Structure formats: structure tokens, C-alpha cells
Structure 1
Amino acid sequence: MMVQRKAKKMHESKQSAGLLDRAGKLIEHARKAGADKADAVVVRRRSGSVSVRNGKVENTEASESDDFSLRVFVGQRVATVSAGQGVDEASLAERAVAMARVSPEDEHARLADADLLAENWPELDLFDPSEPGSVELADAARAMEAAALAVKGVQSSIGAGASAGLYGLVLATSHGFAGSFERSGFSRSVSVIAGEGTRMERDYDFDSRVFFGDLDDAQSIGRSAGERAARRVNPRKVPTGANITVVFDPRAARGFIGHMVGAINGASVARKSSFLKDRMGEQISVAGLTLLDDPFIARGSASRPFDGEGVSTGPLTMVENGVLRQWYLASPVAHELGLVTNGRASRGGGGVSPSSTNVVVSPGEVSPQDLIRSVGTGFYVTELIGQGVNQLTGEYSRGASGFWIENGEIAFPVSEVTIASNMRDMFMRMTLADDIDRKYSIAAPTIAVEGMTLAGD
């Protein structure tokens, strides 16, 4: 069971506590300058990274910032101003209010309703104080690269990198919310080339975690990247065909599910730019698919104890057995749609917009191996290329690479093909495997989609 803590008693770093105090002062200055209501956000970022190629350090970077953003409301007129750490709070507030007074009215602009603001939230174990230095990051990058280059068939390195960082959010509002949280992040990645001449192929592998100790070891990441690249050498052409079953490996499937997540974002619905805009309460996918959005996963890569408006709402079932149940909502978009926010607001560019957190797709009941065997003949996708997705119409057309499936087995590598269909049909023709990996912000299994068109030779 998660431990609940009162907002004012939640543990905060000394720096975050100081920033929260400054955010509160910004609110006070805004009210004195004539704002009817306001909120102040400080986004904290700390990062360090090292990139390596051929065993030598190519680049070392370090950065840190505390970016202040004040949003003020004068009636239904709103303005946002941003500044860095040394800002004069009174002057910033006066400028924001002056801007708001000459801005056009926005009938949907608003703070979250006071009765929705969080008074307590779960402890999610999101901060690891580990601080690997540049030497340690470089050693990990070298180890990944060396492991990848040791794989038979791998010819050269594109590069390897390791990073460590921090994201923090401090939020105060004029109607009673004050809170902050920090989330650490660590990553490792490597990319290599296998084969020779015109038969060269590239691939990569990576890992990203909230806690340093949870990262996959550098040698394993490197070896996986090398093996992925070596398997792709000497790809063949395949003929153009219709009614092809395409199997998306988990890496490609995460992107595919991401298109569903984008289509049920309330902002897209309000703009009428989503092909699912009129489908609430209807079957939009196979009955076996349930899509859960859960910001409360301990150590989750997209977890947060409260959203960008101070609302703390736990897991939401967005799609239940194929039926669309929710849009992703923040208060302005929710008001435009005649609804109430469901705690999925994020901050960016001074404004508020809805976004997903940790997305978990319900697993199927068949292993990836059995799913491939059931396909007989088809195409197993490991990489997608290009941005050929139309969220307004649902049309889907992407360049792809992967492997041909014959007699239910992976037969040979394939590259330079295009797969196409419409996502309305794709969502209804999915078969889900059981290989969910929950370490990513979108946890999706291997997915087979029937009835696609493949453009090859």
C-alpha cells in the first residue's frame, strides 16, 4: 500500500522548498498587481551526459536551470511570462498582469476547480540521489561500445552515450495548492553498424530508468545492440502485397499504441483533429485490449504525484475491452468539451495541456513465439521510419525494416518497405502477445495486425 502524506508535510529538498516559497511570492505579487487568480511553476532541470565513439570521449555536457513561469488571469484574459533564477518577482508579476489586460478573452482559460486540488498524494519513490560523474558515465559508454563491437559481423560504432539527470516541478496556485516533486533519470545507449559496403545495416539498444541501480548493465546493452545490427545484414526484397499480417515487436508496438494515445487526447478532440473524436463509448479496438493510464507506478518513468494543475488522480482506464471510456483532460480542454479534468494536465510553454503518464496495455494470452507461428507468412517489424500517420483521418503509412516470416518462423531480414492501412481497421485487427515490459512510459506487448498492405519490390 502506498503511503499517503499531507501536501505541506511531504518531503522536499531544501532547494525545492526555497523555490516553492518563491513561487508563492510570485502569486502574492500577481494578486497585488491586479490579477484575479494566478499560478506559478518552476521547472528544475539538471543533466550531465558523455558520448563516446571508438573508445574516445567525443562530448561531455552538463546543464542546470530553474525556469520560472507565472500565469495570471484578469477576468477571462490570461497571460504567461517566463524568466530565469534571478528574476525580480514584483516586476515579473506587474508585466504579466499588464499583458493579460490587453490580451483577448479566452472563455476556456481557468485553473482547476478548488475542490479538485490535491491535499495528499502517494510517495512514488521517484528520486535517486546517485550522481555518477563524467568518468563513470564515460566508462559505461565505452563498455557498451566494446561489447557491441565484439559481436561477430559488427564493423563500426556510430557512438555510445550515458547520462544522468533530474526533473523537478514546483507548483503554487492562488486558490490553495502548493507542492513539489523531483524525478531522477539515468540512461545508456549505443548504436553500431554491421555488414559491409551497400549491405551495411545499423541498429541500437538503450535503457532508461528512474534509479541508477535499475539500469541494465552496459555490456548487456552493447551486446544486444550488436546482435540486433548483425541480424539485419544482407536484407532481401519482398514483393508488394495486400492482406499481409504485420507483427510489431515491442519497440515498434510502443509507437503504434502511442498513436492511439494521441488520438484520445482531449486537445485533439477539441480541435476536431482526431479520427476518434466522435467515438466516446464505442468499440474502437479489439475486445481484448484495455489501456490503463497510471501516474502512481512506483519508480515509473512517467509517474508524478500530481499533475500540472495540482490535481492528483490515480489510474484511469482509458480503453476498456476495446471500448473508449475517457479522453486525456486538463481543465481548459475539459471545459471546452463540457467535462471535468481527470488530472492529466502537463505544463509546457507556459500553458496547460493534457498528456499521458504511464500507459499500460493489457497483455494477451499467447507468447510472442506462438503469435509468430500462428501468422504463417508475414512481416515482423523491428524499426519504423518516417512520420506517415494522419491523426485526422487515421491513415497510416510508414517505412519499415524487420524480418520476413515463413512457415511461422523468422526467415530473413527485410528493409526498405512500406506498410500501410488505416488505424480504425488496425485497432480492430490486433492480436496481443503476453510480453509486457513495464519499464517504459508505454508498456506494450508484441502486436500482430492483420490485413495490412506492404509495398516492396
Structure 2
Amino acid sequence: MSQSIEALTKSLLHAARQAGADSADAMAVRGTSVNVDVRGGVLEQAERAEGVDIGLRVFVGQRSANVSASDTSDRTIEEMAIRAVAMAKEAPEDPYIGLADPDQLATDWDVEALELYDPAPEPSPEALQDDAARAEAAGLAVKGVSQVQSAGAGYGAQQVFMAASNGFEGGYRRTDRGLSCVAIAGSGTGMERDYDGDSRIFQTDLRSPEDIGTKAGERVLERMGARKPPTGAYPVLFDERISSALIGHLLSAISGTAIARGASWLRDAMGEQVLPKGMSLIEDPFRPRVAGSRPFDGEGLPTSRRTIVDDGMLQGWTLDLATARKLGLTPTGNAARGTGSNPGPATWNI
């Protein structure tokens, strides 16, 4: 029987100590994914993947290294630790790296309240194929749509667990259910393409295939006959896909990494107006059934609801431990990481 992901992280930490690391943290992710694509009403492709990924970050003094693997054998874990320690000894010193102090760690959270995991049974490949086929049919039913390039449905489930030599241990489960459709209209140089899709934690929250297919068809028709307007000042309505990208530029500019490097156009804008008055930007990692929710961040720090912009005025940066130390500030619980990458600042639900 394979080890639990909790046991795998503890095995990684033990191996790191044996290899000579001063401190370490480990992450393990066990995941399952199923994806089905339909074209012309028939199954075009179906994929299923299952696996476990493990990652280990070690510290030797003020030097560190990160290694990862998808093999969970005892031999691989031992070799990972030895390799990581050897790499850390050759890495340049960084005065800002290191694990969180014990009094900084998250100690109390309610994963159940976040509803990150749908307890419903995993959808069958036939059910996923039916959803994709219905989305395709709805797209083709929109008058003016010439073809549907692709329609696909997918499901994923993950178990995540983190542990560190500073005493932190924590994990959670997560599911996601997705559906998308890409429609085409016109021909030759007048051909246009657009899409619609939805991704949710709970199957019951997912928009219907008919709605997604119809919206994809309507969007591509709205692109037909586009023309350049005369020069002037006009009110503009931004589609949500565009508005999120626009605010993303501001979020990138307040990342601790960019601020610490002096590479952000907002590096001197703390307390200044960066959005119109009356507009506020709130980060809330505790919204139930939303993909960006987190009980703790990638370094074991508690997440929190915070105001990034208040009435147009910039209130704070997005910081992980390293960037907070470099700037002489308090970390904001915004470290994100994967098994094969070091933590870095990221925002949750905006």
C-alpha cells in the first residue's frame, strides 16, 4: 500500500535531517484528472492521469535548494535529500531566506468552511462526454456559427499536504470541474473565433453546457464585422475577461518581488491614489467554493482578508516571507508554491 502524503512529507524531512540540512520543508500532492474532448458529436480524445508529486526545500545556513520528483520510493526520497543538500551548499547566500518563526505559523483553520472539495462521486467519462457534446450542439445551434472547433469537459481532484521542520503541518483536498467550448464563424479573412467556459469546485455550481455553448456562439458573432471607430473619447464597457486582466497589471506591480527589486512602477505609491475614488480592491481567501481560497499559504502562514486599495488609495504590498524581510515589513500570508518551485508572492480571491 502506498504511503499517505502526510507520511511522505515526514519521510522527506527525516531524509533532509539525515543528509545534513539545518532546516527544511516538504510538500506532497496526490492528484487525479480526467479530460474529454468532443468534435462533430463524437469522442475525439479522453485522458486520465493519476500520480503523486513530492518536493523538498532544504536550508544549509543561508543557502537553499529545491528538488522534486514523482517517484515516492524510499531510495528516491533519500537521493532527493542528498542532492538537495549538495546543491544548497553550492548556492549563493541569501540573507532573507528561511522558514517562518513558530509564532508566525497558522495554527487554527477551518477547511470544511471553505468547501474546497466536492464530496459528490467523480463524474464518469460518459457524463463528461455528454456535457461536452451538449455544449458543442448548443454552439452549433446559434445562427451564424459555422463550426465548433472544440468542446471539452474535465474533472480534477487533489490532496495537498505540507510539513516543515519549524513544526508546521497542514493539508486540504480540492476538486475542480470544468467545461469549455470554442466556436467559429465566417470564412477566409473574415473568420472569427471566440470561446466560453466555466470552472467550479462543485459540479452543481457549474453553468449548464447549453449556456456555455450558446455564449461561445454569441461571442464569436459579436466579433463579426468589427471596425475601427473614429478618434475620440468614449465610455467603455469591459468584458469580465478583459477587466480581470486590466486589474492584474496593478496586482503584478504590488507584488513583493517587483517592489523589492525596485522594478515596479508603483514602488513609491504606498498611500497614494492608484484607482478612481470610490473603488476598493479586497482580497478574501475565505470565500467558500472559490478556487482562490486558502486556509494557509505556501509557507504555513495564516491567510487573511485584507484591503489592497481603499477608496482608490494603495494600502499594501503582496508579500511572502523573503520579500517581507527584504523590505522590513510583515508578511501578508501570500506565498504560493508548487512541489518543484520556491515560494513567491501571489494574490488569492480579488
After TM superposition, the score normalised by the length of structure 2 is 0.93
Counterpart of 1:206 in structure 2 is 197
Deviation at residue 226 of structure 1 after TM alignment: 1.3
Q: Contact conserved, 1:77 with 1:106, CA < 8 A, in 2?
A: yes
Aligned to 1:45: 31
The answer to whether the 8 Å contact 2:41/2:136 transfers is yes
Q: Report the counterpart of residue 264 of structure 1 in structure 2.
A: 254
1:300-357 alpha-carbon deviations (Å, 9 max, x no partner)? 1111111101111221111111111111111011111111211100113330101011
For 2:4 and 2:337, the matched residues in 1 are separated by 20
Shift of 1:257: 1.1
Q: Does 1:300 align with 2:290?
A: yes
Matched, 1:223 2:214: yes
* 3-state DSSP of counterpart to 1:57: strand
Match of 2:333 among 343, 349, 356: 343
Residue of structure 2 aligned with 1:179, choices 170, 186, 194: 170
Trace 1:15-94 onto structure 2 (pairs within 5 A): 18-87=4-73, 88=75, 89-94=77-82
Matched residue of 1:119: which SS?
coil
Separation in structure 2 between the aligned mates of residue 284 and residue 211 of structure 1, nearest angstrom: 36
CA contact (8 A) 2:27 2:160 kept: yes
- Contact 2:31/2:158 (CA < 8 Å) preserved in 1? yes
Cα shift at 1:198: 3.4
In the alignment, structure 1 segments of 5+ residues that lack a partner are 1-13, 360-457
- What is the CA deviation profile of residues 101-151 of structure 1, one whole-angstrom value per residue up to 9, with x for unaligned ones? 222111111112211111111221111143112111111111001011111
Select the residue among 318, 321, 328 that pairs with 1:328.
Answer: 318
Query: How far off is 1:200 after superposition?
Result: 2.7
Conserved? CA contact 2:97–2:322, under 8 Å: yes
Match in the other structure for 2:242? 252
Report sequence identity in percent.
46
The residue identity in structure 2 corresponding to 1:311 is L
Q: CA deviation at 1:174?
A: 0.1
Q: C-alpha offsets along residues 391-444 of structure 1, whole Å, 9 cap, x if unaligned?
A: xxxxxxxxxxxxxxxxxxxxxxxxxxxxxxxxxxxxxxxxxxxxxxxxxxxxxx
Task: Give yes or no for contact 1:122–1:296 (8 Å, CA) kept in 2.
Answer: no
CA distance in 1: counterparts of 2:93 and 2:320, whole angstroms: 19
Match of 1:141 among 132, 143, 151: 132
Q: Residue in 2 aligned with 1:10?
A: none
Superposed CA RMSD in Å reads 1.8
Distance 2:215 2:96 in 1: 49
Deviation at 1:27, TM superposition (A): 1.0
Q: Which of 151, 158, 182 in structure 2 is aligned with 1:167?
A: 158
Q: Which amino acid aligns with 2:86?
A: A
1:35, CA displacement in angstroms? Answer: 1.3
| Equivalent AA in structure 2 for residue 151 of structure 1 | V
Q: Which amino acid aligns with 2:22?
A: D
Q: CA deviation at 1:271?
A: 2.0
- What aligned pairs does 1:123-138 form with structure 2 within 5 A after superposition? 123=111, 124-129=114-119, 130-138=121-129
Counting strand residues as a fraction of each chain, which structure ranks higher? 1
More helix by share: 2
Q: Aligned partner of 2:229: which letter?
A: V
The answer to whether 1:110 aligns with 2:98 is yes
1:234 aligned partner: 225
Determine helix, strand or coil for the equivalent of 1:246. coil
Which whole-Å CA distance do the structure 1 matches of 2:155 and 2:20 have between them?
Answer: 42
Aligned match of 1:190 = 181
Structure 1 residue 207: Cα displacement: 0.8
- Render the CA deviation track for 1:29-88: whole Å, top value 9, x for unaligned: 212322111100113332110111121222211112211111111110111111123342
For 2:288 and 2:280, locate their aligned partners in 1 and report how far apart those are by CA, in whole Å: 21
CA separation in 2, counterparts of 1:85 and 1:94?
15
Structure 1 window deviating more from structure 2 (261-270 vs 171-180): it is 261-270
Q: TM-score by structure 1 length?
A: 0.72
1:351 aligned counterpart, secondary structure: coil
Q: Output one character per residue of 1:213-232: Cα deviation in whole Å (capped at 9) or x when no partner.
A: 11011111111111222233
CA contact (8 A) 1:70 1:93 kept: yes
Q: Could you tell me whether the CA contact under 8 Å between 1:70 and 1:350 is conserved in 2?
A: no
Q: Distance in 2 between matches of 1:198 and 1:340?
A: 54
Specify the SS of the correspondent of 2:343: strand
- Matches of 1:307 and 1:19 in 2, distance apart? 18
In structure 1, how many angstroms separate the alpha carbons of the residues matched to 2:157 and 2:204? 15
Gaps of at least 5 residues in structure 2 are none
Deviation digits for residues 258-314 of structure 1 (CA, Å, limit 9, x no counterpart) = 111111111111122211111112111111111111111111111111110111122
Give every structure 1 segment of 4 or more consecutive aligned residues whose post-TM-superposition deviation is greater than 6 Å: none
Structure 2 SS opposite 1:120:
coil
Amino acid corresponding to residue 305 of structure 2 in structure 1: P
> What is the Cα deviation at residue 197 of structure 1?
4.1
Aligned partners of 1:112 and 1:341 also within 8 Å: no
* AA partner of residue 302 (structure 1): G
| Structure 1 stretch displaced more, 254-263 or 56-65 | 56-65
Q: Distance in 2 between matches of 1:146 and 1:281?
A: 52
What SS class does the counterpart of residue 64 from structure 1 fall into?
A: strand
Which fold has the larger relative contact order, with Cα–Cα distance below 8 Å and residues 6 or more apart in sequence? 2
2:201 maps to amino acid: V
